[in-house]
């Protein structure tokens, strides 16, 4: 705690040099007031697992900019967990981004995730808006604020990249611009992650690469998410999901089992951290942690 009793934030990049795996959770801003209270309760529930930090996403087209700032500030101030705000190129001028950074700094949030963002249909960028995460990272680094900057990466290649090689070139550009650690998009085959880490290191990307894990809660929703992200479901996992059909309870069990298997193997191979995409729910993540502690 600081001298005024407020939580002293922690640079997330330093956590990855601690010699132990770092665990973190991701949430998104809800659409209703009831959803916000439910979210805070979920964060409180998951705090019992002692996460190293949590992150809060940035809505499509910058639609939740204000709420993202409010949520990370409240999580860090009132719940007492280091929080990271996602920032996107979409929908904001450089002046608006700098104002957001000032608000985060005032709340003693010192970690941000710089993202290119998904362009909504018919999107018209505001004057001076950035296009790529590398531009956003460089801008953040150029301001008066001393933020720790993270970035995103795609083990199975960004859906819009011309090739895996071009994707890595773009990623290297982002790291050179000031990104200090990378969190992967969701994936379900660890071989894709290990291969990606090897290829990234071969082109000089030597920052920590954190595994992004999403427990499957619904077969329908995960197929929609994988179609958007370019991730694939391994045949063995597809077969398990097909066996249970639309039974969400059984799908949940399969998702927890598969994610537990992934996490065990990743930890055995010395992954610097695991970042859970919680979908604002706590049960699956708690179950995975219980499984990991039992081994």
Q: Say what the pLDDT of residue 224 is.
A: 85
The pair of three-digit structure tokens given for residue 77, joined into one six-digit string: 């101030």
Q: What pLDDT does residue 5 have?
A: 39
Q: 115 — phi, psi (to 5°)? A: -125, 150
DSSP letters, 49-98, are T--SEEEE---GGGTTHHHHHHHHHHIIIII---EEEEEESTT--HHHHH
Q: Domains of the chain by range and CATH?
A: 12-293 (3.20.20.220)
CA atoms within 13 A on the CB side of 158: 18
Residuewise pLDDT in 10s, the chain (295 residues)? 444 433 445 799 999 988 899 999 999 998 888 888 999 999 999 999 999 999 999 865 555 667 889 999 999 999 999 999 999 999 899 999 999 999 999 999 999 999 998 888 888 888 999 999 999 999 999 999 999 999 999 999 999 899 999 999 999 999 999 999 999 999 999 999 999 999 999 999 999 999 999 999 988 888 888 887 888 999 999 999 999 988 999 999 999 999 999 999 999 999 999 999 999 999 999 999 999 988 6
Task: Using alpha carbons, list the distances in angstroms from residue 64 to 107, 110, 169, 197.
Answer: 17, 19, 30, 32
pLDDT of 237 = 95
Active site residues: 26
Positive or negative torsion for Cα 248, 252, 257, 259? positive
Report whether 133 contacts 172 (CB < 8 A). Answer: no
pTM: 0.93
Name all contacts of 44-48 with Cβ < 8 Å and 24+ positions apart.
44/79, 45/282, 45/286, 46/278, 46/282, 46/285, 46/286, 47/79, 47/80, 47/81
pLDDT of 63 reads 54
Predicted local confidence at residue 9, as pLDDT: 56
- The confidence score (pLDDT) of residue 66 equals 76
The sign of the torsion formed by the CA atoms of 40, 46, 52, 53 equals negative
Residue-level pLDDT at 61:
52
């Amino acid at each position: 705690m600081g001298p005024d009793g407020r939580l002293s934030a922690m640079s997330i990049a330093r956590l990855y040099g601690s010699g132990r795996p770092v665990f973190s959770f991701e949430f998104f801003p809800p659409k209703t007031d009831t959803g916000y209270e439910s979210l805070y309760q979920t964060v409180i529930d998951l705090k019992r697992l002692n996460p190293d930090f949590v992150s809060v996403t940035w809505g499509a087209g910058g639609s939740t900019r204000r709420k993202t700032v409010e949520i990370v500030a409240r999580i860090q101030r009132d719940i007492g967990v280091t929080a990271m705000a996602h920032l996107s190129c979409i929908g904001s001028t450089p002046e608006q981004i700098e104002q957001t950074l000032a608000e985060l700094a005032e709340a003693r949030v010192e970690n941000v995730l710089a993202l290119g963002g998904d362009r909504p249909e018919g999107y018209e960028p505001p004057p001076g808006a950035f296009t790529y995460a590398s531009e956003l990272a460089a801008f953040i680094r150029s301001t008066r604020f001393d933020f720790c900057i993270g970035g995103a990466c795609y083990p199975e290649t960004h859906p819009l990249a011309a090739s895996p090689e071009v994707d890595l070139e773009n990623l290297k550009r982002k790291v050179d611009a000031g990104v200090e650690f990378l969190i992967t998009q969701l994936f379900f085959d660890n071989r894709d992650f290990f291969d990606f880490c090897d290829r990234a290191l071969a082109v000089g990307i030597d920052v920590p690469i954190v595994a992004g894990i999403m427990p499957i809660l619904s077969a329908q929703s995960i197929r929609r998410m994988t179609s958007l992200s370019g991730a694939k479901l391994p045949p063995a996992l597809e077969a398990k999901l097909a066996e249970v059909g639309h039974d969400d309870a059984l799908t949940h069990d399969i998702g927890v089992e598969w994610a537990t298997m992934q996490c065990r193997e990743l930890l055995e191979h010395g992954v610097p951290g695991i970042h859970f995409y919680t979908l604002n729910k706590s049960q699956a993540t708690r179950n995975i942690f219980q499984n990991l502690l039992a081994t």
